[in-house]
Amino acid sequence: MRNLLLLLIIILQTTVARAQFSQDYDVIWDSPGENAGASMPCGGGDIGMNIWVEKGDLLIYVARSGHLDENNGLLKAGRLRIKLSPNPFTGGQFRQQLHLREGYVTVSGTDNGVAATIKIWADVMQPVAHIALTANKPVTVDAAYESWRYQDRVVAPRENFGNSWKWAAPKNNIIRKDSIAFTQNGVLFYHHNLAKTIFDSTVIQQGLSAVKDSLYNPLGYLAFGGSFYGKGFEAAGTYNGIYANTDFKGWQLHAARPARQHELTLALTSLQTQDIGKWQQQLQHLIAKAGDKNLINQNRQWWQEFWNRSYIETTQKNSWELGRNYQLFRYLLACNANGYWPTKFNGGLFTVDPVYTDTAMKLTPDYRNWGGGLHTAQNQRLVYFPMIRSGDWDLLQPQLNFYLRLLHTAELRSKVYWNHGGACFTEQMENYGLPDFAEYGQKRPEYFDKGVEYNAWLEYEWDTVLEFCLMMLEQERYTGKDIRETIPFIESCLQFFDEHYQYLAKQRGRMPLDGAGKLVLYPGSAAETYKMAYNSTSTIAALQTISKRLLELPAGYLSAAQKQHWTAFRSRIPELSYTTQYGAVTIAPARSWERIYNVESPQLYPVFPWGIFGVGKPGLDTALNTWHKDTNVIRFRSHIGWKQDNIWAARLGLRKEAWELTVKKLASGPQRFPTFWGPGFDWLPDHNWGGSAMIGIQEMLMQTIDKRILLFPGWPADKDVHFKLHAPYHTTVEATLKNGKVVSLIVVPKERERDVELLLNRL
């Protein structure tokens, strides 16, 4: 250890800190795209845009977090179309570029002596997008706001899978039309939800009418939309058309005169109100601030800080794509840094016409598989875990706040259905905290427990919320932030398992605990895979870790009575179960189970996310046996979608396997833009594919055990890399590996150097 520390000191003394990543990761195209499937992402704050040039027209799909209609579908804000005359995009030189470091896109063209560049960017500070054109000669601009929601639309049966009705939608379910009209120099558009939404139907279905007024309802009277406008533009009539099998109507704006510079602005706002006039006042207030030129510098500074705080770059030709795609996907996540709602795993803000994902899906651009306001926790966690190592705590807040504001609803479920305490969060959960209408079950027997989904995949799966509790606890350990507001939430989640499984035990017999004084976690579920499980490993590992971490919080968080209570609770948590396969002891997914329904490996959840086993920890051999010998773990292994085998391989120190799986994870996807992965098991772009890829490569480079910092525990020594990642206790680690040697290492703060262990050539 002394020699290692001496080596580190020498390296530190000869190293100069570098800012950001050094590689040029901008995406540049030298030809227009054929359709929306060949679009380039751009965004910031909580706005996402898909940008492409098709047949000389610049087109932009716009999405904003939280545009949720009565069906709880996440609706696009619309499509913008820009035409120039004379047109520089029709046959000459062409260039479309994502300027990654500053978060904007430019489209440039030259034809017949006319050269023009259009810059598109979203304001991180407020929900406004800007389109600025400069040309070498005066050009005329025709801009249009296009909408397929210009009339009520009967929703095709399959399209209901894009909202919260799924297969249980009312006959002839509709998406209500938007209000769209010209203003003085633009187009005003909005959708104003009715008082009654799918929330109301769900409350009745699930027997919660008596407490309806106490439940969180984000949909009733929600107004969302905005204004598309430009100085010097005037209304130029409407037109109709069809794009990718969907009819639409366009509201056209015409520049009053040709000019070398034109600017257009899109301002978006949302407000839950019965009075649409209040929403319009809020929009006007936003428009008044939208032109503030100081915001350009503020946005530039935000992106600089974002890229300075963390990065991973791989510099060798055969691995360069890994670092590039890591950065590109992190950019997609940053486009919802300030969202009220979390980034959805099934496409985020960047879905387009579904026909470009699945040719059979001839549906509107609002479609995405697995719902818009519906959240699947096992998928969402993978989008948000990588933000811990990258230090993106601002990006993580929308997901944590999502759960915090649903605490009362989750506690009401426990009280109404079982008359005990604790918060019951289901695996597939609406943004108002209740199970999905369809997944809850339409043909439920009268005798069936009303608190449980009548669904073979989802029944009794309610432990994933504990992973979000872990994120809350990690925020304190990493940043020192006061997390007192989260303690009631974490305690309530643990309380549910304690009280509910004692309640169930007393329904079956006289005693609430087993003969050893432990909880009997039955019926349970090990992920969605091992169903009707008895003492699920994923649940036990979660309860052990969260209760332990709760008790480890600094003084002042828990009273003496709280500490006594949770210490007693820990004594009631069962031990993990083990089995033997091919003569080796392995972690069992549960003590027993009745059937297998999916392709997950919860027997490795004690490795990730719960960190009970891994490099530098006791029992590593047992976890390795599980990886190598468990027939289902082997059978289910893959890099696709939400699969996390790359993460487990990294945490187990399996460098070769981790590298091979991560290379596949981070390889460019099927669309023109490299990190539009999928559809995997979900939709395109598959954000839980990208999130699990990020986690895997982070864990290959750095792992932590309490205050220990393990460097390169799963990284092949012959792969050059430069990275900056975050560790607990206000720590950042920047390292460069070149030709098998660590040539630079910077640890901040300096006193944390003593906690670094270099594992490049050993376990």
Distance from C-alpha of 32 to C-alpha of 289, rounded to nearest angstrom: 34
Helix axes 320-334, 655-666, angle to 10 degrees: 60
* Torsions phi, psi for 140 (to 5 deg): -95, 140
Distance from C-alpha of 636 to C-alpha of 167, rounded to nearest angstrom: 28
Distance from C-alpha of 685 to C-alpha of 308, rounded to nearest angstrom: 26
**Residue 108, burial from CB neighbour count under 10 angstroms (0-12, 13-18, 19+):** middle
Question: What SS3 class is residue 221?
Answer: coil
Distance from C-alpha of 340 to C-alpha of 167, rounded to nearest angstrom: 28
Is the predicted pLDDT of residue 20 greater than 80, yes or no? no
At 762, is the pLDDT very low, low, confident or very high (cuts 50, 70, 90)? low
pLDDT in tens, 707-716: 999 999 999 9
User: What pLDDT, on a 0 to 100 scale, did the predictor assign at position 599?
Assistant: 98
Report DSSP letters for 315-371, one per residue: -STTTHHHHHHHHHHHHHHHTTTT-SSPPPTBTTT----GGGT-TT----TT--TT-
Cα dihedral 204, 208, 214, 215 sign: negative
**Residue 200, burial from CB neighbour count under 10 angstroms (0-12, 13-18, 19+):** middle
More confident residue, 2 or 547: 547
pLDDT in tens, 327-377: 999 999 999 999 999 999 999 999 999 999 999 999 999 999 999 999 999
CB atoms within 10 A of CB 718: 12
The two structure tokens encoding residue 35: 């359709």
Distance from C-alpha of 140 to C-alpha of 146, rounded to nearest angstrom: 19
The two structure tokens encoding residue 362: 């001839």
Mean pLDDT in residue range 550-556:
98
CB atoms within 10 A of CB 634: 12
Token pair 């209000």 is found at 179
Distance from C-alpha of 563 to C-alpha of 565, rounded to nearest angstrom: 5
As beta bridge partners, residue 181 has 188
pLDDT in tens, 399-454: 999 999 999 999 999 999 999 999 999 999 999 999 999 999 999 999 999 999 99
pLDDT in tens, 252-275: 999 999 999 999 999 999 999 999
The 3 state secondary structure assigned to 407-435 is HHHHHHHHHHHHCCCCCCCCCEEECCCCE
User: What pLDDT, on a 0 to 100 scale, did the predictor assign at position 331?
Assistant: 98
Distance from C-alpha of 604 to C-alpha of 537, rounded to nearest angstrom: 9
At 32, is the pLDDT very low, low, confident or very high (cuts 50, 70, 90)? very high
At 21, is the pLDDT very low, low, confident or very high (cuts 50, 70, 90)? confident
* Torsions phi, psi for 615 (to 5 deg): -55, 130
Distance from C-alpha of 604 to C-alpha of 583, rounded to nearest angstrom: 19
Q: Do residues 62 and 266 make contact, with C-beta atoms less than 8 angstroms apart? A: yes
- Identity of residue 529: T
Please enumerate, as own/partner, the contacts of 237-246 that have beta carbons within 8 Å and a separation of 24 or more: 239/144, 241/146, 243/79, 243/146, 243/353, 244/35, 244/36, 244/353, 244/355, 244/356, 244/365, 245/353, 245/355, 245/362, 246/148, 246/353, 246/363, 246/364, 246/365
User: What pLDDT, on a 0 to 100 scale, did the predictor assign at position 10?
Assistant: 36
The two structure tokens encoding residue 459: 């029944």
The two structure tokens encoding residue 48: 């996402």
Among candidate residues 150, 169, 149, 148, the one with its CA nearest the CA of residue 158: 169
Distance from C-alpha of 562 to C-alpha of 546, rounded to nearest angstrom: 14
pLDDT in tens, 218-231: 999 999 999 999 99
pLDDT in tens, 43-83: 999 999 999 999 999 999 999 999 999 999 999 999 999 99
Look at the chain and count its residues.
763
Angle (CA) 351-355-359 rounded to 5° is: 140
Instruction: Give the distance from CA 109 to its chain's centroid.
Output: 35
User: What pLDDT, on a 0 to 100 scale, did the predictor assign at position 293?
Assistant: 86
* Torsions phi, psi for 599 (to 5 deg): -130, 45
Is the predicted pLDDT of residue 14 greater than 70, yes or no? no
For 515-563, where are the E strands, in sequence order? 524-526, 530-536
At 8, is the pLDDT very low, low, confident or very high (cuts 50, 70, 90)? very low
- Identity of residue 232: G
As beta bridge partners, residue 265 has 130, 229
Among candidate residues 296, 401, 299, 254, the one with its CA nearest the CA of residue 340: 401
Lowest mean pLDDT among 477-486, 609-618, 734-743, 753-762: 753-762
The pTM of the full predicted model, rounded to 2 decimals, is: 0.96
Query: Do strands 756-758 and 708-711 pair parallel, antiparallel, or not at all (unpaired)?
Result: parallel
Distance from C-alpha of 84 to C-alpha of 133, rounded to nearest angstrom: 10
User: What pLDDT, on a 0 to 100 scale, did the predictor assign at position 227?
Assistant: 98
Among candidate residues 459, 472, 350, 332, the one with its CA nearest the CA of residue 402: 472
Query: Do strands 259-272 and 311-313 pair parallel, antiparallel, or not at all (unpaired)?
Result: unpaired
Token pair 């704006």 is found at 253
Query: Do strands 595-596 and 114-122 pair parallel, antiparallel, or not at all (unpaired)?
Result: unpaired
Distance from C-alpha of 637 to C-alpha of 634, rounded to nearest angstrom: 5
Among candidate residues 175, 185, 118, 178, the one with its CA nearest the CA of residue 146: 178
User: What pLDDT, on a 0 to 100 scale, did the predictor assign at position 15?
Assistant: 38
- Identity of residue 342: P
Q: Do residues 40 and 96 make contact, with C-beta atoms less than 8 angstroms apart? A: yes
Domains for the chain: give ranges and CATH numbers. 31-309 (2.70.98.50)
* Torsions phi, psi for 513 (to 5 deg): -125, 165
**Residues in CB range of 555: below 8 A, 6 or more apart:** none
Element (H, E) at 240: strand 233-243
Distance from C-alpha of 727 to C-alpha of 702, rounded to nearest angstrom: 9
Helix axes 320-334, 687-701, angle to 10 degrees: 120
- Identity of residue 550: L
Element (H, E) at 692: helix 687-701
Mean pLDDT in residue range 613-624:
98
Whole-number average pLDDT of the chain: 96
Is the predicted pLDDT of residue 18 greater than 60, yes or no? no
Token pair 């069809």 is found at 242
Is the predicted pLDDT of residue 381 greater than 50, yes or no? yes
Distance from C-alpha of 168 to C-alpha of 165, rounded to nearest angstrom: 5
pLDDT in tens, 330-341: 999 999 999 999
User: What pLDDT, on a 0 to 100 scale, did the predictor assign at position 16?
Assistant: 37
